[in-house]
Amino acid sequence: MSLENLVVALSKDPFDPELNFAVAVEYESLNQTASAVSFYLRCAEYGEGILVYNSLLKMARCFDNQTGREYSVTNCLYQAIAYDDSRPEAYFLLSQFHEKAGNWQEAYTFASIGYGWRVMDESLPASVGYLGAYCSKFQMAVSAWWIGRKDESIATLHQLSQMELDPMYANAVKYNLERLNALL
């Protein structure tokens, strides 16, 4: 359904969480993150279950694409964990957030917690970049190097290199192994 049709449908039922979510996804796909956030927030207010959790994660991603919104990013992710602490995605996104900031211990810790929740009954309605347990394992491998766990980092990257991964991750594993071996 087009954005225009979704907005018309939403005008007839403004409290429908699924319609709010669908409108938010469309706005996000157009890189209109401020508009997307407002509809994700409405979904989180009126919805329940996985839709609320996914909305909080998507809001965090939208805020992360804006500059100077670090508190908003972490607040959304902590809210997602408070809503459902048994899923890996929020921990994974927190790990990525801390990796970008160079907070390596935090990056490792959140990736490790997320990896502990690698079995999920239900996938998210909209992707947040978490493709499976190997994403958290990759985060652990990268951050392990920076917190003095060199052997663990290299061993984990070798394990990942033997797995079937999304091409982006396969390339990142290869790149990191080459870079680390060059440093040794």
Q: Is residue 22 part of a domain?
A: no
Q: Is residue 116 part of a domain?
A: yes
**Domain containing 67: what range?**
48-183
CB atoms within 10 A of CB 116: 13
pLDDT of residue 184: 55
CB atoms within 10 A of CB 129: 12
> d(Cα 57, Cα 25) in Å, to the nearest integer?
12
| Eight-state DSSP code of residue 129 | S
Q: Is residue 149 part of a domain?
A: yes
Q: Is residue 76 part of a domain?
A: yes
Q: Is residue 33 part of a domain?
A: no
pLDDT of residue 79: 98
4-42 pLDDT per residue, tens: 898 889 899 999 999 999 999 999 999 999 999 999 999
With contact defined as beta carbons under 8 Å apart, do 136 and 108 qualify?
Answer: no
Q: Is residue 156 part of a domain?
A: yes
Average pLDDT over residues 89-97: 98
CA distances from 41 to 38, 63, 112, 136, 179 (A): 5, 12, 28, 26, 41
How many domains does one find in the chain?
1
Kindly report whether the global pTM for this prediction surpasses the value 0.85: yes
Q: Is residue 134 part of a domain?
A: yes
- CATH number for 153: 1.25.40.10
124-168 pLDDT per residue, tens: 999 999 999 999 999 999 999 999 999 999 999 999 999 999 999
Give, for 127, the enclosing helix (H) or strand (E).
Answer: none
Q: Is residue 20 part of a domain?
A: no
| Cα atoms found within 13 Å of the Cα of residue 175, Cβ hemisphere only | 8
Nearest alpha carbon to residue 36 among 7, 16, 13, 58: 58
112: CB partners within 8 A, 6+ apart: 136, 140
